[in-house]
Amino acid sequence: MSIVILGPQRPEPNLKRAVERLGVEGKVAVVTAGWRHDENETAALEAHLGLPVTHLKLYAWFDEVLEAVPEVAAAYRDRQARIGRYKELYRLRLRAALGAVEALRERLPDDPELVEPELDRALSVVRDLDEEVLTRLDAIRMDTPELLAPWTHRSAADRFDEVRAALEDVDAICIAGGHVAVLLNRMQFFGLHRLLPRFVQRGGHVFAWSAGAMCLAGRVVLFYDDPPDGRGDAEILDRGFGLLPNMVFFPHGRRRLRLDDSERVARLAARFAPSACLSLESGAWLNPSGSVWRDVGSAGSILHLRQDGRVCDFEVVA
Amino acid sequence: MKAVLDLVRRIEAKPRSAREELRHFVEATSFPIVENDTATFFFWDDSPAEAVYLIHWVFGLESRQAFQRIRGTHAWFLALELPHSGRVEYKFEVHRGGGRALVRDPRNDQLARDPFGSNSVCTMPGYAIPPWTALETGVRPGRLESFEFHSGVFGGNRNVQVYLPCEYKPHKRYPLLICHDGSDYLRYAGMQPVLDNLIHRHEIRPMIVAFIDGHARNQEYGADPRQPKHVAEEVLPEMRARYGVSRDPDEIGVMGASFGGVASLFTAFSYPNVFGQVLLQSGSFLFTDVGHHDRGPLWDPVAAFVNQFRADPTRVKASRFYMSCGTFESLIYYNRSLVPLMRGAGLDVRFVEAQDGHNWIAWRDRLREGLTYLFPGHLWMYYD
């Protein structure tokens, strides 16, 4: 499998070095849908790569489809609004469940023997809820069958074919960061999640960073420990593509997570175990190496958040 | 306080070595001495004085508090209980030879600058300088540029300093915030790095800020009808002509502090469908329930306007208001009073009280809450 996970490409990009290391010399497809309105501003990325690029303009294509087919637009907006309303309910339940975990952790020193089983159960409730989100999202999507495989819809089929043809023509695909929900939705809308596994199987390389990396994991987790408003409860956005099912990525973890709060780190790591919670900083570079993953980026650019509350340099995940 | 009491005991035990004790004490101590919720202020320059007072701007405390002299020395101290997260700006008033001088605390390096000079600062244990007030690592700064235009409303030219986010592109449309007392917000509240940081964090959307200044500031900002006309009919069109500014009223905001808060609310009141976001810091919202106020003629139009606003708050059509005020300010009464009235009228108001005074650092420290409430970014969604 040839998937390379990179950290944020600012301030110092390392995409080119990673691409060169894997010997990619031919065409490269690029997805920048996470940049939304700035999707087309790929000049700096193309200059950095120095290779011929096929730009898959999923963000613009999506808008074109919605403009051309009002019934698809209406169905899509209704579905997304329903998902939004459901997420509000999820957050209510999540806060209550996390509140119980926090309260029990505070009481743990008083009587560990008594409190620990309660704490385990409370954490299970959170983990169950995180699992339930995914099945609830599936159920909500089932209510809009015409959007279950939008890439087969006449309005998007041509673009799907274009993506498929592009992937047959390139040696690698780069998936940039940005707005993770937009990126994930647009890639799913045009069936990229269906095409990527085959692309990798036939020897294609995938380079993904920040939000792009998050989308390749089993679950996409939104996080911000110190928001201007609210408690900063990490939450499940959706399923990822499942290409890296045993990892959850936290780009800019040093800035966005309270890594010095061992209680918080422990809670986060336990919540998503057995997946490894990895913070990706600029310079991060995670390479496949046989059946394990190896950090070949700058020192300290990939941090492993552990269930004991420690934050360690990443080693390998089988 | 304990440290000073110990010092007093040592001096009383060995009065001849008082000067030596004092020298050791000031060398080994940071001032003011903050222990739990008590701040002890200390003054000693080894010269005689008749009296020393603490001058501060904490409404509710006697504004001029007398120090106590340590017997047999020229050293003075004063202990004050202050709120846990409090931040107090102060000076010492030293009486000497029949005269008196207002000085900063000579043993305290913490200073706050404002248009009138600078004050010493005492911070209590619960206060911390917010990390987003200084440019953070890896943040790409925006830029400031300025232009001048002729104001038909006021006559003569006016200068506008314009903050553009680092990603600014002329063909795109951005939210716009018009900021009264703009030069002071930039100079004393460090608003440029605050904007840079919050945009970089995606806590606010990339936005343009027009920093404007008054010429006869107190008159223009004190509910003078020319000011809303200037902002809405001159500054806003100039900004739209020169920059990529959104056409959506919900993306147009106005802000200010103190009299600048009055000017901002008065502008939103006078042009109800133009400004969707209103940020008011320590607004000088004087009103009268009955009779007259005692603040002087400058405040007459302010009281008249705020009375008018209170009679019909819904005339302001803004989507959201963010208001803040320090609990050490006399204005807290007026601000607190407006909030339930506005909410009762169906306005969306977030109101925050700070354990601070009427000063630029207090206003700086609330910018994150205010800007993120009015111009929220996609911070939960962006990972670039």
pLDDT tens across B6-53, in order?
A: 999 999 999 889 999 999 999 999 999 999 899 999 999 989 999 999
pLDDT over 90 (residue B67):
yes
> Would you place residue A290 in the very low, low, confident or very high pLDDT band (cuts 50, 70, 90)?
low
From the list A227, A251, A282, which residue is nearest B383 (CB)? A251
Q: Is B379 on the interface with A (CB under 8 A)?
A: yes
| pTM of structure | 0.90
Query: What is the β-pairing status of strands A302-305 and B176-179?
Result: unpaired
Interface check B295 vs A, CB under 8 A: no
Is A36 part of the contact surface with chain B (CB cutoff 8 Å)?
Answer: no
Q: What's the rounded mean pLDDT across residues B136-140?
A: 90
| Chain-chain contact of A180 with B379 (C-beta, under 8 angstroms) | no
Minimum mean pLDDT range among A98-102, A297-301, B161-165, B226-230: A297-301
Please give the mean pLDDT across all residues of chain B: 95
Residue A114 CB neighbours (<10 A)? 10
- Asked if A282's CB is within 8 angstroms of B384's CB, the reply is no
Q: Which of residues 50-109 of A touch B (CB under 8 A)?
A: none
Tokens of B315: 């005339």
| A19 in Cβ contact with A28 (< 8 Å) | yes
Scored b (16 or more CB within 10 A) or e, B225-244 reads: eebbbbbbebbbebbeebbb
Pairwise CA distance, residues B112 & B104, whole Å:
11
| pLDDT, tens digit, 9 for 90 and up, residues B70-82 | 999 999 999 999 9
Nearest C-alpha neighbor of B369 from the set B326, B319, B322, B320: B322
As for the ipTM of the complex, it is: 0.94
Percent of chain A with pLDDT over 90: 88
Is the separation of the CB atoms in A3 and A208 below 8 Å?
yes
Whether residue B382 and residue A179 make contact (CB cut-off 8 A), yes or no, is yes
- The pLDDT, as a whole number, for residue A1 is 57
Radius of gyration in angstroms for the set of CA atoms belonging to chain B, rounded to a whole number: 24
Across the A:B interface, residue pairs with CB atoms under 8 Å apart total 51
Q: What pLDDT score was predicted for residue A300?
A: 86
Any CB–CB contact under 8 A between A7 and chain B? no
Give the per-residue pLDDT at B2.
Answer: 86
- CB contact A214 to B (< 8 Å): yes
**What is the predicted pLDDT for the residue at A291?**
61
Q: Do A180 and B382 touch (CB under 8 A)?
A: yes
What H or E segment, with its residue span, contains residue A121?
Answer: helix A112-142
Q: Is B156 left (phi over 0), alpha (psi -120 to 50) or beta?
A: left
Distance from CA of A210 to the nearest CA of B (A): 5
A210 touches chain B (CB under 8 A): yes
In chain A, the residue whose alpha carbon lies closest to the alpha carbon of B382 is: A179
Nearest CA in chain A to B131: A255
Whether A276 and A248 have beta carbons less than 8 Å apart is answered as yes
The shortest CB-CB distance from A8 to any of B203, B378, B384 is to B384
- Provide the H-helix boundaries in B212-325: 217-221, 226-230, 236-242, 259-270, 300-311
Contacts of A180 in chain B (CB under 8 A): 381-383
pLDDT at site A40: 95
Residue A295, pLDDT > 80, answer: no
Percent of chain B with pLDDT over 90: 90
What pLDDT, on the 0 to 100 scale, is given for residue B132?
97
